Structure 1
């Protein structure tokens, strides 16, 4: 909305709607502000950095599900996150009012960059970039990828009305250990109005090591193939699969061992894992032997019964062991496992909790333990293959699921010694976004310490400006947020006050604002929404017609109901009872005095 410079016009239309006396006499007018969530507000601040129209409309639908309440949507129709709002089912009529520029301009944009989060030094990593063109003419441009000011890839591209989308794939070489930043660009075409969406930044963390993963399973299951594919989507990881668990396996050759549906057959390998303090991931299912697992004293146990249950995932937003974004866990199918309560005897962090039949619990679905430099991961359910399939249906790609499994493998296979202070931050943040940084601090026994005071100092590399803020203790984690930071490179130092414990890191704020990727209002989508819900589309200069239509719509006329209740003025039942009591009393009195 700021890009279209329509803030004043929207506020003017909003004011006329809520101050119209005739509308006020007919409706109770409630004002809501929305960006990525819905908020109750009488004023609009235009500070949101993401837009989720679907979620906002769905929330309103739930609030007014018993009411015949029209919804007026003041928007340019451009959504940056969430489900397609065009498919929403609503009993309430929706009346979109279009703001922004409705003129169509030629526009090139980089829609998406797909890249693995990690790579290994002196190896190639794949980059996939999706380019789109909106226009009628034939145009030519050049796509480039820069790193440290140097062009590392370049390709000429042509677009026209019919050939308006291209997928560019290439392999770049990891040359320097650490976080490597890249910029993908499309050269501007003639008369292109919006060039902000011609540029997109991405980063890759280059690691100087390779990983060999061993998967041991007592049964054949679709999860095994899915795990292998997800792990090996990173070419620097190799997977060895074994079903012959009693065979001669050199477990010390692997950085991580994955044990699937553990039972007594794993006895020798478990002894080897314990003797060598090896990292492992345990995936439990309906064929797991919980009596055997409980005897191993891994730090957790389960009172399992011979009855299966479906466990849907709920993301733990306070999880700090490693950084994991929400890939739509609440829309994933449930995992299956034996029913029972899980208890822990060691410190642990849960990435996902269990949702049972719509009820959120604090029982873990995926958890991690770390003690004496040994890392243990536990997935309390089988059916990961359904998650990968569901992720593909949502995103038309396996990338997010594969990165999710990759994050788990990356953490568990790392041989780095545990630090008392861990800090999590993104490598890249879009312009105008909220910079969230979380920290996890433990005492000398590696137990979470809620008594500490933490502070962070961030420094803009170019301006040398320092910003210092204290961390807040929220849900067993330390968190801090920065707003309105300028684009640029930043370093940070996190300190534990009173202790000589510090953690250093860096991040970059790009000049790419996701809200500025659109060149015009999405009139077609708003019109489809109006037609689907029985409403009507209006333009910002035609708001008076909207007012008139709402006032004249017979479905919103006020109706009066009268209830007639008939009741006798005198209740004869009570009078009869009173007469009986009086006659009875007279008889006893006369009898007592000998009158009868």
Structure 2
């Protein structure tokens, strides 16, 4: 407390004492004993009020003991049950949860993981895939500034994602893997990998590459087969030994009919094999009778053009050619869609032909675009001519309804370079992305779609799109989400079918370890998205003829049903709008494949390396007592006493107000009782 504040309090006490003395000892009448009591009450009242006016501040000190956190991350994938380790996991967790010294030493946080990390201790061992790297990355975000050793209870078998063995080198927390599963090496033949395109074209041959591996000491013989139902399409005898542990088999098969063909690749198991689940894999090929030809029309070189070509050709149904405006003009009827990149005056005749042939187009305008030309092309919009450039970031429009879209992380994308100025539309348009300029979110369109008579257009008002694709890879370690986003725009533009009130989106086949989702958009009679509808999907198994009704849930601008729990098989389905005679039907296949059952042993090597990289230690399930003892004796994990000092003003002390009120009330009551009022 400051010296001046103490001086003010002393002066307040003197002033309150003088006031009480003046009222009851100089001017006061009656009994001296009563005056002393009344004077004391008056002094308390005056002194309390003056203290509130001075409002001194006091330091309030508290001490807390902060325990280090102990993070339990448990593998909840089906491979744990397949390796017979579920009981060991339950027993290990029970021993940790009931260990008194651990409870006293640590604050224990519990998680499970499979595809995602979940803050839960409920175990079902039914997750279809395992991503250990993502689980560790999520834990790093939560505990990067905290003392928090991580006990990772897993078999170490990861089915997708980055290699956690190498991504752990900069991990800030110590990881203590508890290794589940058998470490003995058995003889095992495995169909390690199948490389096959998802699509093939009618009357062409489609390639299949199979990689077969062998783990064992003895020389063995087996047979590789490729079959469709009961028909064997290809077979080959293979031999392996201690020295020859793998073989790559390459096959080409003819695509003779349109539609989805389900095939099975298998390697005949050895008599002594422990795990026969990894000896075969189902896969599917969708045979289509034509490819979507797309032309990227440009008179300049730009990194966006390469990024667009790579992105569009990630779907094998699309073929992309980069052409000049004159070449596109000559061959315009060969393409189902034209991507017009930064049109300049060399495009003068191009837009006339585009309108004449009723071709759909994606127009990308940037800093080199001739807005004079575009404004005169009568496409349904005009843009201000300023000659200036601005940086703009995207804002996803949740209410966009021309087709189903999802936010792929637009708010974290780097800015595009765009021509400064406003754009005005003379026809109806639908904004997919708005502009964000600096920190200001605007209602100015960045990416729009619109329809002029029978032609569909999309207009992107920015260049450096390659930065978005690169950012997607940095965020997700994959280009998939960006490519899918651009693919949806392409699919919308390449289709000339008339818009329907109920539109469905689904894949022809799904793998058993992936999500199975069917999406739908429902529009009112004015073709405006209607979020008040009740949609359901009626599933029917082709094999058993059994039906199942699943409600479709509203997801932003579309409805969706998650059918991941459906068993493998062929299904017909109908999406219905309850209360209306409106429905759409389709069919798909779910291929039987459980990637979690492909493993025979724990991946000890990677888990040992993970422990080394993070300055932790590794244990096997039977070494749980040693692990607990090491955690308790490790001096890195000692409780910390924290001193917290708060400065509290006296005005926050409610008891002082109560004392003032009590002294006033007591003085008034006693004076009234003694007839002095």
TM-score, normalising length: structure 1: 0.79
Count of matched residue pairs: 562
Decide whether aligned partners of structure 1 residues 180 and 40 sit closer, same or farther in structure 2, where only a CA change above 3 A counts: same
Structure 2 counterpart of 1:44: 123
**Does residue 282 of structure 1 match 2:337?**
no
**Does residue 122 of structure 1 match 2:207?**
no
The secondary structure found in structure 2 opposite 1:77 is coil
Report the Cα distance in structure 1 between the residues aligned to 2:263 and 2:368, rounded to whole angstroms. 46
| Deviation by residue 1:261-301 (Cα, 9 ceiling, x = unmatched) | 22343232223223332122333444334565466575778
**Alpha-carbon distance, 1:430 to partner:** 3.6
**Does residue 425 of structure 1 match 2:425?**
no
Deviates more, 1:506-515 or 1:376-385: 376-385
**Alpha-carbon distance, 1:478 to partner:** 0.6
Deviates more, 1:80-89 or 1:200-209: 200-209
The secondary structure found in structure 2 opposite 1:519 is coil
Report the Cα distance in structure 1 between the residues aligned to 2:431 and 2:214, rounded to whole angstroms. 45
Deviates more, 1:93-102 or 1:223-232: 223-232
- The match for 1:338 among 418, 423, 431 is 418
Decide whether aligned partners of structure 1 residues 513 and 476 sit closer, same or farther in structure 2, where only a CA change above 3 A counts: same
Report the Cα distance in structure 2 between the residues aligned to 1:549 and 1:400, rounded to whole angstroms. 44
Report the Cα distance in structure 1 between the residues aligned to 2:583 and 2:497, rounded to whole angstroms. 17
**Alpha-carbon distance, 1:119 to partner:** 3.0
Contact 1:246 1:268 in 2 (8 A): no
RMSD (Å), alpha carbons: 4.4
Alignment of 1:495-514 (within 5 A): 495-514=576-595
| Deviation by residue 1:440-459 (Cα, 9 ceiling, x = unmatched) | 12234433222322211101
Report the Cα distance in structure 2 between the residues aligned to 1:28 and 1:37, rounded to whole angstroms. 23
**Does residue 102 of structure 1 match 2:183?**
yes
Structure 2 counterpart of 1:582: none
**Alpha-carbon distance, 1:549 to partner:** 0.5
**Does residue 209 of structure 1 match 2:290?**
yes
Deviates more, 1:357-366 or 1:499-508: 357-366
The secondary structure found in structure 1 opposite 2:186 is coil
Deviates more, 1:23-32 or 1:227-236: 227-236
Decide whether aligned partners of structure 1 residues 439 and 554 sit closer, same or farther in structure 2, where only a CA change above 3 A counts: same
Structure 1 counterpart of 2:255: 174
Unaligned 5+ runs, structure 2: 1-79, 647-677
Deviates more, 1:25-34 or 1:196-205: 196-205
Decide whether aligned partners of structure 1 residues 32 and 214 sit closer, same or farther in structure 2, where only a CA change above 3 A counts: closer
Structure 1 counterpart of 2:556: 475
| Deviation by residue 1:509-531 (Cα, 9 ceiling, x = unmatched) | 22211211211111111111111
Structure 2 counterpart of 1:579: none
Contact 1:132 1:166 in 2 (8 A): yes
Contact 1:185 1:200 in 2 (8 A): yes
Report the Cα distance in structure 2 between the residues aligned to 1:313 and 1:112, rounded to whole angstroms. 40
**Alpha-carbon distance, 1:102 to partner:** 1.9
| Deviation by residue 1:128-151 (Cα, 9 ceiling, x = unmatched) | 444444444444433333234423
Decide whether aligned partners of structure 1 residues 264 and 106 sit closer, same or farther in structure 2, where only a CA change above 3 A counts: farther
Structure 2 counterpart of 1:550: 631
**Does residue 80 of structure 1 match 2:159?**
yes
Unaligned 5+ runs, structure 1: 566-596
**Does residue 184 of structure 1 match 2:247?**
no
Alignment of 1:439-454 (within 5 A): 439-454=520-535
The secondary structure found in structure 1 opposite 2:82 is coil
Contact 1:314 1:355 in 2 (8 A): no
Report the Cα distance in structure 1 between the residues aligned to 2:439 and 2:206, rounded to whole angstroms. 40
Report the Cα distance in structure 2 between the residues aligned to 1:38 and 1:270, rounded to whole angstroms. 51
Report the Cα distance in structure 2 between the residues aligned to 1:128 and 1:356, rounded to whole angstroms. 49
**Alpha-carbon distance, 1:76 to partner:** 0.7
Decide whether aligned partners of structure 1 residues 552 and 353 sit closer, same or farther in structure 2, where only a CA change above 3 A counts: farther
Decide whether aligned partners of structure 1 residues 233 and 526 sit closer, same or farther in structure 2, where only a CA change above 3 A counts: closer
Structure 1 counterpart of 2:518: 437
| Larger Cα-atom Rg | 2
Decide whether aligned partners of structure 1 residues 461 and 362 sit closer, same or farther in structure 2, where only a CA change above 3 A counts: farther
Report the Cα distance in structure 1 between the residues aligned to 2:444 and 2:88, rounded to whole angstroms. 50
Contact 1:286 1:336 in 2 (8 A): no
Contact 1:322 1:411 in 2 (8 A): no
- The match for 2:150 among 67, 71, 74 is 71
**Does residue 243 of structure 1 match 2:324?**
yes
Decide whether aligned partners of structure 1 residues 398 and 496 sit closer, same or farther in structure 2, where only a CA change above 3 A counts: closer
- The structure whose RCO (Cα within 8 Å, separation 6+) is larger is 2
Structure 2 counterpart of 1:23: 102
The secondary structure found in structure 2 opposite 1:467 is strand
Deviates more, 1:69-78 or 1:420-429: 420-429
Report the Cα distance in structure 1 between the residues aligned to 2:443 and 2:267, rounded to whole angstroms. 47
TM-score, normalising length: structure 2: 0.71
Decide whether aligned partners of structure 1 residues 7 and 452 sit closer, same or farther in structure 2, where only a CA change above 3 A counts: same
Report the Cα distance in structure 2 between the residues aligned to 1:111 and 1:384, rounded to whole angstroms. 37
**Alpha-carbon distance, 1:225 to partner:** 5.3
Decide whether aligned partners of structure 1 residues 252 and 295 sit closer, same or farther in structure 2, where only a CA change above 3 A counts: same
Contact 2:193 2:210 in 1 (8 A): yes
**Does residue 198 of structure 1 match 2:198?**
no
Report the Cα distance in structure 2 between the residues aligned to 1:484 and 1:347, rounded to whole angstroms. 39
Decide whether aligned partners of structure 1 residues 353 and 103 sit closer, same or farther in structure 2, where only a CA change above 3 A counts: farther
Decide whether aligned partners of structure 1 residues 131 and 274 sit closer, same or farther in structure 2, where only a CA change above 3 A counts: farther
Report the Cα distance in structure 2 between the residues aligned to 1:323 and 1:159, rounded to whole angstroms. 49
Deviates more, 1:178-187 or 1:313-322: 313-322
- The match for 1:413 among 471, 494, 497 is 494
Structure 2 counterpart of 1:10: 89
Deviates more, 1:533-542 or 1:384-393: 384-393
| Deviation by residue 1:215-238 (Cα, 9 ceiling, x = unmatched) | 321203355456557767888866
Deviates more, 1:499-508 or 1:527-536: 499-508
**Alpha-carbon distance, 1:309 to partner:** 4.2
Report the Cα distance in structure 2 between the residues aligned to 1:169 and 1:365, rounded to whole angstroms. 47
* Between structures 1 and 2, the one with greater helix share: 2
The secondary structure found in structure 1 opposite 2:108 is coil
